[in-house]
Amino acid sequence: MIPGLPWRLRTSKFPRPLRLATPLGVWALVVAFLFTPMACASKRKAPSMSLERALDTICTGIAVSLDAYQPPLDTMDVIEAIGNRLASDSSEATRTTLLRMVNHYNPEGRWIRHPKTIAAFLQAVSGRPDDASKEALEYLVGRATPQSLSKFHAEILGELSTNPFRERFLLVARAKPRGALKKLRALAATDPAVTGSTEGRIALAANGDRDWEKEFTQAFSEATDPQEKQRLAEVLGWIGTRTTLRVLAEELRTPLVYRLGRVFQVPVWIDIAKALESHFPEAGLAISPASEEEYLAYEAFFQKEFAIHWQVERPPFEFLGPLEHGFIPAEPMDP
């Protein structure tokens, strides 16, 4: 008999090996449960410092998991607090860390719509043309919808005259703030960098300059080099007017492909699809079509959106590997 075990287990009528195995198995399960990571984690004390204190600690380079707080912190309170810190902290490295925290806590996944989230990103940009500002702008340009940026037109245009660095022009193109064209043209009259940079011309085209819009769309339609076509597809996506989006949609069946490294061939329509998708977040389209069904979903949506009737055959979906599927090849690379 094993001391300390319940009487029923000690006097079991099972054969002796089973009488030993049964209580030992019970205690093994108890011990295993007590020492599992889950049990240990449940005993671990949740952080007790305030949110502000936690952010102070994070800014010194020490990691603190805000996810471990009990009760859980309100997501938007966290984002607002980080945004306030971004406004006052001048360290580029710290602001980059805080920016990535905002991205982590963004409750809407890929898209950025909540005003507090957008305000936090804009705080990181204000007056500082460094890498942290550029990263914040990349988040906003790629993931904030024009509708969600509409409440921040004054902030987006506010520093355009004093800090007209190139990435800011793309945000002006994305947001299309009221009065942007007038301000951009006034700035172009004194600063040749506006029309001298692709980003400046994109901002002008996006905000109603028909001459620049026509120049970009014509260049895209006439491009026969796959990599140039791919580059201009991205540009038309940044401009994002109904005209440029329609021109993009009309080229969804382009047979052009470009090289990715020395092995892979990528069709230009993949980049066209990416440029279009960011302007129709409610359509539920795949960010980058990875199957024929997803590709057909693009065609169906934009055929209805722009009443397009393609005059060319749909290229086969397969695009990786040798050029055996009728695509027009990219220029061969030097050996």
The tens digit of pLDDT for each residue in 235-249 reads 999 999 999 999 999
The pLDDT score that the predictor gives to residue 219 is: 97
State the pLDDT confidence band at 200, using cuts at 50, 70 and 90. Answer: very high
171 pLDDT exceeds 50?
A: yes
- Inform me whether the pLDDT recorded for 209 exceeds 80: yes
pLDDT tens digits along 39-53: 444 434 445 678 888
DSSP for 4-16, written as a single string: TS-HHHHT--S-H
Lowest-pLDDT choice from 20-34, 93-107, 109-123: 20-34
Q: How confident is the model at residue 76 (pLDDT cuts 50, 70, 90)?
A: confident
Structure confidence by residue, pLDDT tens digits, 267-304: 899 999 999 998 998 888 888 788 889 999 999 999 99
Of 92-96, 262-266, 316-320, give the range with the top mean pLDDT: 92-96
Give me the mean pLDDT over the 25-49 stretch.
48
Spans of all domains in the chain: 1-32, 51-209, 213-306
Q: Flag whether pLDDT at 140 surpasses 70.
A: yes
Q: What's the CA gap between 321 and 291, in Å, rounded?
A: 16
Rounded Cα distance between 228 and 220, Å, is 8
* DSSP annotation string for 196-239: HSHHHHHHHHHTT-HHHHHHHHHHHHH--SHHHHHHHHHHHHHH
CA atoms of 210 and 181, how far apart (whole Å): 11
Give the C-alpha distances (Å, rounded to integers) separating 311 from 101, 158, 232, 236, 294.
47, 46, 22, 22, 21
pLDDT of residue 17 exceeding 50: no
Burial label, 236 (beta-carbon count in 10 A; 0-12, 13-18, 19+): buried
| pLDDT score, position 204 | 96
For the cut 70, the answer to whether the pLDDT of residue 170 exceeds it is yes
Q: Is 138 a residue whose pLDDT tops 80? A: yes
Pick the range with the lowest mean pLDDT from 150-159, 167-176, 257-266. Answer: 257-266
Retrieve residue 211's tokens: 């001459």
Instruction: Give pLDDT, residue 41.
Output: 40
Q: Which amino acid is at 20?
A: L
More confident residue, 165 or 257: 257
Structure-token pair, residue 287: 């960010």
Q: Where does the chain show beta strands of DSSP type E?
A: 257-260, 264-267
The gap between the terminal CA atoms of the chain, to the nearest Å, is 80
State the DSSP code for 72: P
For 255-271, the pLDDT digits (tens) are: 898 877 666 778 899 99
Length of the chain: 335
Distances (CA, A) of 182 to 6, 157, 191, 195: 87, 11, 14, 14
pLDDT value, residue 290? 81
How many C-alpha atoms does 257 have within 13 Å on its Cβ side? Answer: 24
- At 8 the pLDDT is 43
* Six token digits for residue 49: 């410092």
Q: For residues 316 and 302, what is the distance between their CA atoms, to the nearest angstrom?
A: 19
Mean pLDDT is lowest, of 21-35, 156-170, 202-216, 219-233, for 21-35
How many CB atoms sit inside 10 A of residue 20's CB? 15
* Stated pTM of the model: 0.75
- Residue 265 is predicted with a pLDDT of 79
Q: How far apart are CA 128 and CA 216, in angstroms?
A: 30
Mean pLDDT for 181-198 is 90
Report whether pLDDT(81) > 90: no
Task: Kindly state the average pLDDT of the residues 111-117.
Answer: 87
Q: Please check the confidence at residue 37 and state whether its pLDDT lies above 70.
A: no
Given a contact cutoff of 8 angstroms between Cβ atoms, the answer to whether 267 and 256 are in contact is yes
